[in-house]
Amino acid sequence: MSTKTENINTGAVLNNIRFPSNDVMLDLNNLKKVYPTPKGDYVVLEDLNLQIRKEEFVTIIGHSGCGKTTMLSMIAGLNPISGGNISVLGKHIKGPGPDRGVIFQSPSLMPWMTSLQNVMLGVNQVFPDATKTQRNDIAKYYLQKVGMEDAFNKRASELSQGMQQRVGIARAFAIKPKVLLLDEPFGMLDSLTRGELQDILIEIWNKEKITAVMITHDVDEAIFLADRVVMMTSGPKAKIGDILNIDFKRPRTRKSVLEHNDYYAYRKHLIDFLEH
Amino acid sequence: MKQSLTLGKVANFIGLGFLGSLKDLFTGNLNKEEFKSFLRKTLVPLLSILLFIGLWHLGAKSLYNIEANFKIEKALNDQGPEAAEALKACIEAGTSSCQPNTLPSPSQVWDSYKSLLRDHNIIAADKASFIEKTAALNEKRLAAGKDAITYTGRPSFVDQIFRSLKTVFAGFLLALFIAVPLGIFIGLSPTLKSSFNWFIQIFKPVSPVVWYLLVFMIVKTLLIDSNEDSSFTISFISVGFCSMWATLVNTAMGVSSVDKDYINVAKVLKLGNFQKIFKVVLPSSLPLIFTGLKITLSVAWMVLIAIELLAQSPGLGLFVWEEFQNGANDSNAKIIVAMFVIGIIGFLLDRLMLTIQNWVSFDKTDAI
């Protein structure tokens, strides 16, 4: 146990570690976000530096309102950057684009479309040169992967929250993004459904290995899914507080993770950070 | 059985669900709960209709008596007792020339309704025989390059109903084709919104009469060379302009308040403007657009009467006005018949819109 604690403490040093540039997928550089208010500027994020490697799964935890979602929507390009920059594969991002797929907190499916049409909306956009059949096959493949093969033609408004989020996952993977951004995608689900969807997500991710950044409030979820857990300090002027490497082998099962010797040390580290 | 099941479904869908339970009552398959709901849904409305007719009858009777007594007293004061006696006898005999002119009773209205239908049948037969008689002649005239002779007789009540419906639908379509696209543009662009806002705020509350006059001024000049009767054009354009505001405002609101998540999805997928409007914005604002269209149709039907009256365009409005000016013995009863016809058609139009809305809208939770 004691050796493990030492090992974890070195995590704090990882904060400023720079990776070789050809290994970096996503690079946040001195990122800053300011909201002007009548009482003066409110600084949400400041001097935020974070590098995320190719084929890495990173989860982000921090207190509510610390700016996690702001950061994620800035990466998605949906929220303007006040200072610093964000680059994907060395190129600065300008606005949103399908190279960064997003799974939103609410499933955000178009309720008037069927599950297939919802996935096709993205596929049509990203693969304009493919034939209709090919695009259909792509959409159906991912819907099958998330266990929705019986509901291709069901309208999104007829599906349960959990089912809708499955389609949301299929939609995000089907456009083959370089980076996948997940904003507390399972936050609104009951714990049983949440577990199911975590399994589905990690199974499909193991195949595709798309660099993923996921916000979560759930410490166990953060550990189960991630290669690294990024802890953000409380706002205002939030930044990266600490980073924890999760050294479990992949593919992981929930059982093997829970039974792993380091699991509780990781968990304690995260909870200590959140409670300090 | 299958047939009646689907009929019941249709009845439910268009909001006439009580017809279904009426059928169940006659076939005798109702349990206690269903019987209760049958009472509430069918019997209570029927009773209230009967009560309404009863009160109307009593009210009409007492108004009749007030008017009759006043007439007799006036005759007594002005012309002496013999004249008063004669008038009283005349009123009691039911002679039409001396009947008091007041709110007609339900039975009078029903009689007028039947007489209007008879009148329609006569006119329809007349028209048919006219067409038959002139068919051969018209063929020759057309062959000779002349205009055909058309029937120019007086329109019947039913003809006027259809004419009114035509005016309303023309006006409604005009409103639809102006207000929906304009509403979409205004909803999408804050610049357009602020440039159009004063316009909407000022013109929305303008009364139908003024709209009619405005349209009259413009259309009269535009059609200055034409000998055609412009009353239809003027009235449908006025109806359109009067009624389009609800659709315009609702469409703009629906389009500008599309769920931010959907817009974000469109942004992430980099949908083009065309795709964004037709795949995301329009479907999601459809419920609000339809609410606007429903209001537009009912406003169109409501202002139609006033506008037809002003424009002298044949239709129910003109019918009401002419009967009022006419002052014949059964004129008041005919006006009440027109009132019910207007009300019932208005109700049916509303149901029609609701049915279309339920059919096209994704949000099936809206209660009928």
pLDDT at residue B219 in the model: 87
CB proximity B261 to A under 8 Å:
yes
Strands A240-245 and A100-103: unpaired
Structure confidence by residue, pLDDT tens digits, B219-258: 888 888 777 778 888 889 999 999 999 999 999 999 998 9
> For A181, which residue in chain B has the nearest alpha carbon?
B268
pLDDT beyond 60 at B72: yes
pLDDT beyond 70 at B84: yes
pLDDT at residue A187 in the model: 87
Which of A111, A113, A125 is facing B269, going by the closest CB pair? A125
Q: What residues in A contact B362, CB-CB < 8 Å?
A: 111-112, 155, 157
Indicate yes or no: CB of A98 within 8 angstroms of CB of B279.
no
pLDDT at residue B365 in the model: 46
Interface of A with B in 80-99 (CB under 8 A): 95-98
B151/A148: higher pLDDT: A148
Q: Which residues in chain A land under pLDDT 50? A: 1-14
Distances (CA, A) of A44 to A86, A92, A126, A237: 16, 21, 33, 5
pLDDT beyond 60 at B354: yes
DSSP H/E element including A2: helix A2-9
Interface of A with B in 230-259 (CB under 8 A): none
pLDDT at residue B366 in the model: 42
pLDDT at residue A11 in the model: 42
Indicate yes or no: CB of A78 within 8 angstroms of CB of B270.
no
pLDDT at residue B21 in the model: 58
> For B258, which residue in chain A has the nearest alpha carbon?
A110
pLDDT at residue B340 in the model: 93
- Residue B340 and residue B346: Cα distance in Å, rounded? 10
Structure confidence by residue, pLDDT tens digits, B87-145: 888 888 777 777 888 888 899 899 999 999 998 999 888 888 888 888 888 888 888 87
Q: How many A-B residue pairs are in contact by the CB < 8 A criterion?
A: 59
Interface of B with A in 344-363 (CB under 8 A): 362-363
Paired tokens of B58: 């009593």
DSSP state of A105: S
CA of B366 vs chain A CAs: smallest distance (Å): 13
- Three-state DSSP at B240 gives helix
Indicate yes or no: CB of B262 within 8 angstroms of CB of A102.
no
ipTM exceeds 0.95, yes or no: no
Paired tokens of A125: 């956009």
Q: What residues in A contact B259, CB-CB < 8 Å?
A: 108
> For A96, which residue in chain B has the nearest alpha carbon?
B268
In 3D space, the residue among A244, A233, A246, A224 whose CA is nearest the CA of residue A71 turns out to be A233
Average pLDDT over residues B7-33: 62
pLDDT beyond 50 at B11: yes
pLDDT-above-70 percentage for chain B? 90
pLDDT beyond 70 at B18: no
Distances (CA, A) of A255 to A206, A259, B222: 17, 6, 82
pLDDT at residue A2 in the model: 40
Which of B261, B284, B363 is facing A104, going by the closest CB pair? B261
- The answer to whether the CB of B174 falls within 8 A of the CB of B238 is no
DSSP alpha helices (H): ranges in chain B?
2-13, 18-27, 32-38, 44-79, 81-93, 106-143, 157-188, 190-203, 208-222, 231-256, 260-268, 273-275, 282-311, 316-326, 331-360
pLDDT at residue B24 in the model: 63
Indicate yes or no: CB of B280 within 8 angstroms of CB of A106.
no
pLDDT at residue A22 in the model: 84
Average pLDDT over residues B208-214: 87
The pLDDT confidence band at residue B209, using thresholds 50, 70 and 90, is confident
In 3D space, the residue among A85, A81, A83 whose CA is nearest the CA of residue A51 turns out to be A85
> For B269, which residue in chain A has the nearest alpha carbon?
A98
CB proximity A182 to B under 8 Å:
no
pLDDT beyond 60 at B368: no
The pLDDT confidence band at residue B14, using thresholds 50, 70 and 90, is low
pLDDT-above-90 percentage for chain B? 27
CB proximity A158 to B under 8 Å:
no
pLDDT at residue A226 in the model: 92
CB proximity B269 to A under 8 Å:
yes
> For A128, which residue in chain B has the nearest alpha carbon?
B271
- Three-state DSSP at A35 gives strand
Structure confidence by residue, pLDDT tens digits, B53-71: 999 999 999 999 898 888 8
CB proximity A269 to B under 8 Å:
no
pTM as predicted: 0.77
pLDDT at residue A5 in the model: 42
Mutate to test the interface with B, among A74, A79, A93, A110 (most CBs of B within 10 A): A110
In 3D space, the residue among A99, A95, A37, A106 whose CA is nearest the CA of residue A69 turns out to be A106
- Residue B308 and residue A215: Cα distance in Å, rounded? 64
Paired tokens of A167: 């389609």
Q: What residues in A contact B279, CB-CB < 8 Å?
A: 110, 121
Q: What residues in B contact A100, CB-CB < 8 Å?
A: 268
What is the average pLDDT score of chain B? 84
Report, in angstroms and rounded to the nearest whole number, the Rg of chain B calculated over CA atoms.
27
